[in-house]
Amino acid sequence: MQNPKRSGISWKPSLLIIFFIFAAFIFIFLIYLGLTGYQATPKYIHLNNSYIPPGSVQYSEEQQTVLSQFGRLNYFSIQFYDDWLDNGILQTIRVENWGFESHGQEITFLNGVLLESTGIDIPAQASLPLTYSPDQFHAYMSLQEISAVTGVTELIEMPMELELLPGGKIYFGPGITFGLKNNQLIYIEAFSQIDNGGQS
Amino acid sequence: MKTVIFHRIFISLMIVILLAGCNMPTPERTRHSMDDSILMMYSAHRFILGENWTSEIEGGQKGNPSLRLQSTLEKINELRLLSQSYFDMADRMEGSSPQVVDYLRIKANNLNAQADRLEKRRNRGGIFRRIGRVLGNIISHTMDFTGRTVETIVENEIENRISEIVHIPRNIVKGHVLLVIEQLAQQRGGQLIRLLNGRTRQNIQRVAQLLQNIPETAQIGRNLANLPDISRDLDRGLNNIFSPMEGTLQAASNQLLNEGETGNSQQATPGNADDEDQSNSEFEAYQIENLNSDIRLLGHEICPPPQSGEYNDLILRGHPAGSTCAWEVGMETSKVNLSLAYEILERSDQTVNGKIYGNFSGEIHDSSDPKWFGSGQGSYQGKIESGEFTIRQSGADNFYQITGTGTITISISGDYEIYHVFNTTYGDMFSQLEPFTYEITLPAQFIWQNGTYPSFGIYVERLTQEEEAKLPMYMWFSFGLSENIPEP
């Protein structure tokens, strides 16, 4: 025969434990939602950078020639990605686009080799000198390294949606935009800032 | 007791969740595709421009739904636009460059699939995401994570804040972005062509010419034509796969002939093609050492011994008119078996006329080098028939020409997603999603000269959703004169 009194006593802790577990799951779920939401939220970040800047990339002869001929660079963008080349080795590709407004030319380099020169028709703007140069940026640099080479410590961080690019974050700084995937630089773009202090 | 067990389970669960949520970066570098970079640039420009710039470029209306929906919709639109740009590029290059067209269409389909996934997610609604945003804002208005002070930004302030901090002329960005995308896509297409179209200087030049004829790739073609080292690099890359067969055939010929000179070679009766079957019993297995252990050369010539002192080239100097030679070659790694026979019909000091016929078969298999090949199972078989050739020596500078006619039929099957048979003799490729049979007909007027390798190949590929086409498994046959025919 079962003792009804003993049975009543044993139910109370069980219910309490179930309630506690349920509450814990709700709490964890909310924390998870909060962290996920936090990760997906655009942020204004201020880096306290103590990194030593890495050395600069060596320009190719063709790039040096272009710079000496065209002079001041108005904007540039660099894409980094991996590709299998003819020799079967996975190699990092560096595609650079350099813009020279005064000469109306945008020049493309593939791993330092001149690939293409395209005429551009952009009205002259009163712009400040470009404060960054392509040789500052290595493939797959970290955020801290980029901050160290550019001196930029205040940035807007914009996480990309998981469906679009998992691990992707875009950063916006003064005259510079770059993208990191898993904290590795794969895209960077720098433009001369406009001189009038307003938007274009 | 129960409480202790629940407590332990709970603690374990917490640890697992914490570990899972930490999202620690892995030290190993991940692979980044070109599309990652392009998508990132697209997204960045959307925020820099602060408007629905993709619609503006396309001449459409600026979108103005709620910001959250607009954000997702724009991303979908960006993917669709990127996909469309691949499609457009493929259309423009239709008929000129099948390899690039094929590649671009695959990319376009992949991007469309990605857009579909994003759209589905959007349709599911974002209630949890919105709750998360609110909670995220509550818990982290100003926080210090890993040495950086962080402040979350309210969504409707994003564009203004970005505009303030970046502070660049928008029209330059707008004019710049599509140009970059086109260049990147073309550059990748050019690489693919180079990879597919053979390993000889002549083939590279042919590809370069092909690219130069297309306005979009003209500059790439010019660069390709002016880079003398590419043929060497390409040779190095493909050498491990294709070259042993060719080199070994030549070396094996010499070995056989040397053995013939010392009396080890068996003599067979000259005859026609049926003799090949008859003399199968006479075949001996030759293990080629010091050449490439991968190659098995089965059998040997059934031609009469070459004339004294003429061991260098079987067809040109080794055999008199009326002789027939048959060969069987196997390559272990690629599971290739090739039976080849030729018959010398007539010959003079300067000219050799003959017939050629053969069968080949093989398995398509995973390579030991994952960098090059995807995975899958397949097979191919084919035959060479109605082949007639003439070899001429012109001048005293050891210059030879081969003219040939004939038909090569290839049947390919397997569990791959795309099948290609390419014919570098004409620089074209046929592709289908299902196994198929392909016929190559060589015209009489086609001339193969020293150093050219008229060839055809089989190429299959398996795609993954996120990555570009896994580089394929393919095999390659090459016929022609070797580059180093010695002086008689």
In the 3-class helix/strand/coil scheme, how is B350-383 assigned residue by residue? Answer: CEEEEEEEEEEEEEECCCCCCCCCCCCCEEEEEE
Residue pair B477/B456 in contact (Cβ under 8 Å)? The answer is yes
- pLDDT above 70: percentage of residues in chain B: 15
Reported confidence tier of residue B469, pLDDT bands at 50, 70, 90: very low
Predicted local confidence at residue B398, as pLDDT: 52
Q: Which residue has the higher pLDDT, B26 or B225?
A: B225
> How many alpha carbons fall within 13 Å on the CB side of residue A63?
20
Expressed in angstroms, the distance from the first to the final Cα of chain A is 88
Using CA coordinates, name the residue in chain A closest to B220: A115
pLDDT score recorded for residue B402:
67
Beta pairing partners, B438: B410
A134 touches chain B (CB under 8 A): no
Inter-chain CB proximity B237 and A88 less than 8 Å: yes
When pLDDT is cut at 50, 70 and 90, the band that residue A71 belongs to is confident
Rounded Cα gap, residues B446 and B443, in angstroms: 6
Q: Which of B25, B136, B187 sits opposite A34 (nearest CB)?
A: B136
Predicted pLDDT at B196 = 33
The pLDDT score that the predictor gives to residue B460 is: 58
State the Cα–Cα distance between residues B378 and B334, nearest whole angstrom.
12
Look at the block and give the residue holding tokens 């396309």: B58
Instruction: Select, from the ranges A33-37, A65-69, B140-144, B236-240, the one with the highest average predicted confidence (pLDDT).
Output: A65-69
What's the CA dihedral at B38, B110, B112, A78 to 10 degrees?
0
Whether B390 has a pLDDT exceeding 50, the answer reads: yes
For the segment A126-153, what is each residue's pLDDT rounded down to a tens digit? 567 788 999 999 999 999 899 999 988 8
Q: Cβ A82–B234 below 8 Å, yes or no? A: no
Banded model confidence at residue A24, pLDDT cuts 50, 70, 90: very high
Contacts of A88 in chain B (CB under 8 A): 237, 369, 371-372
Which stretch of DSSP H or E encloses residue B390? Answer: strand B378-394
- Of B446, B379, B451, the C-alpha closest to B204 is B451
Q: Which residue has the higher pLDDT, B311 or A78?
A: A78
**Whole-structure pTM value:** 0.47
Tell me: pLDDT of A23 over 60: yes
Model confidence at B182: pLDDT above 60: no
- Residue B437's pLDDT is 76
Mean local confidence (pLDDT), B300-315: 45
Give A101's pLDDT tier (boundaries 50, 70, 90): confident
B180 CB neighbours in chain A (<8 A) are: 77, 79, 95, 97
Residue B200 binned pLDDT confidence (cut-offs 50, 70, 90): very low
Q: At what angle do helices B170-196 and B34-49 cross, to 10 degrees?
A: 170
Provide long-range contacts, Cβ within 8 A and 24+ apart, for B248-251. Answer: B248/B288, B248/B291, B248/B292, B248/B295, B248/B297, B248/B329, B249/B327, B249/B329, B250/B482, B251/B288, B251/B291
Q: Which stretch of A135-149, B9-23, B77-91, B274-288 has the lowest confidence by average pLDDT?
A: B274-288
Report, in angstroms and rounded to the nearest whole number, the Rg of chain B calculated over CA atoms: 31
Inter-chain touch B153–A125, beta carbons under 8 Å:
no
Is B175–A122 a contact, with Cβ atoms under 8 angstroms apart?
yes
What percentage of residues in chain B have a pLDDT greater than 90? 0
- The sign of the dihedral angle between the CA atoms of B175, A164, B122, A31 is negative
Task: Choose from B120, B143, B172 for mutation: most chain A CBs within 10 A.
Answer: B172
Kindly indicate the confidence band of residue A188, based on its pLDDT and cuts at 50, 70 and 90: very high
Q: How far B123 CA lies from chain A's nearest CA (Å)?
A: 13
d(CA B474, CA B458): 5
Q: Which of B211-220, B350-359, B411-420 has the highest mean pLDDT?
A: B350-359
DSSP assignment of B415-440: S-SEEEEEETTTTEEEEESS-EEEEE
pLDDT over threshold 70, residue B208: no
Give the least confident one: A78-82, B151-155, B217-221, B407-411: B217-221
Inter-chain touch B118–A161, beta carbons under 8 Å: yes
Point out the residue among A41, A156, A189 whose CB comes nearest to the CB of B136.
Answer: A41
Search chain A and give the residue with CA nearest B77. Answer: A164
Mutate to test the interface with B, among A22, A75, A199 (most CBs of B within 10 A): A199
Q: Locate the chain B residue with the closest alpha carbon to A163.
A: B118
Query: Which tokens in the block code for residue A10?
Result: 């044993």
Q: Which segment of B33-47, B147-161, B178-192, B236-250 scores lowest on mean pLDDT? A: B236-250
Q: Is the confidence at residue A170, as pLDDT, over 70?
A: yes
Helix (H, G, I), strand (E, B) or coil at A189: strand
Between B29 and B47, residue with greater pLDDT: B47
**pLDDT(B392) > 50:** yes
> Which residue out of A122, A177, A180, A182 would a mutagenesis test of the B interface target, given it has the greatest number of B Cβ atoms within 10 Å?
A177
pLDDT of residue B321: 73
What tens digit of pLDDT does each residue of B48-75 get? 665 443 333 333 333 322 223 335 555 6
Sequence-distant (6+) residues with CB within 8 A of B469 are B103, B106, B374, B418, B461, B462, B463
Nearest Cα residue in chain B from A104:
B172
List CB contacts of B118: < 8 A, sequence separation 6 or more.
Answer: A161, A163, A164, B72, B75, B76, B79
Residue-level pLDDT at B149: 62
B100 vs A80, which has greater pLDDT? A80
pLDDT value for B353: 82
Q: What percentage of chain A carries pLDDT values higher than 70? A: 81
Query: pLDDT at position B244, please?
Result: 33
Chain A nearest C-alpha distance from B150 (Å): 5
* Residue B295 reports pLDDT greater than 80: no
Maximum mean pLDDT: which of A40-49, A114-123, B127-136, B331-340: A40-49
pLDDT higher than threshold 90 for residue B144: no
Q: What is the mean pLDDT of residues A26-31?
A: 84
CB atoms within 10 A of CB A81: 23
Whether the per-residue pLDDT at B191 is higher than 90: the answer is: no
Taking an 8 Å cut-off on Cβ atoms, the answer to whether A193 and B168 are in contact is yes
**In the predicted structure, residue A174 carries a pLDDT above the cut 60:** yes
Provide the pLDDT for residue A51: 76
pLDDT band at B156 (very low <50, low <70, confident <90, very high): low
Distance (Å, whole) CA A191 – CA B272: 75
Nearest 5°: the CA angle B40, A81, B39 is 20
pLDDT of residue A138: 92
Residue B202 · residue B452 · CB < 8 Å? yes
Percent of chain A with pLDDT over 90: 14
- 3-state class (DSSP) for residue B47: helix
Q: What is the mean pLDDT of chain B?
A: 53
A35 neighbourhood in chain B, CB within 8 Å: 21, 132, 136
Q: Which residue of B has its CA nearest to A177?
A: B44
Q: Residue B32 is nearest to which of A28, A80, A118, comparing CB atoms?
A: A80
- What is the interface size between A and B, counted as CB pairs within 8 Å? 277
| pLDDT, mean of residues B463-486 | 41
Between A115 and A1, where is the model more confident?
A: A115
> Is residue A60 a contact partner of residue A113, using CB atoms and an 8 Å limit?
yes
Q: What is the pLDDT of residues B472-481, one digit of tens each?
A: 444 445 444 3
Q: Please name every residue paired with A190 in a beta bridge, in sequence order, or none if there are none.
A: A76, A176
* Higher-scoring residue by pLDDT: B296, B408: B408
Residues B102-132: b if buried by 16+ CB within 10 A, e if exposed: bbbbbbbebbbebbebbbebbeeeeeebebb
Q: Which of A14, A47, A79 to probe the B interface (max B CBs under 10 A)?
A: A79
Residue B203: list chain A partners with CB under 8 A: none
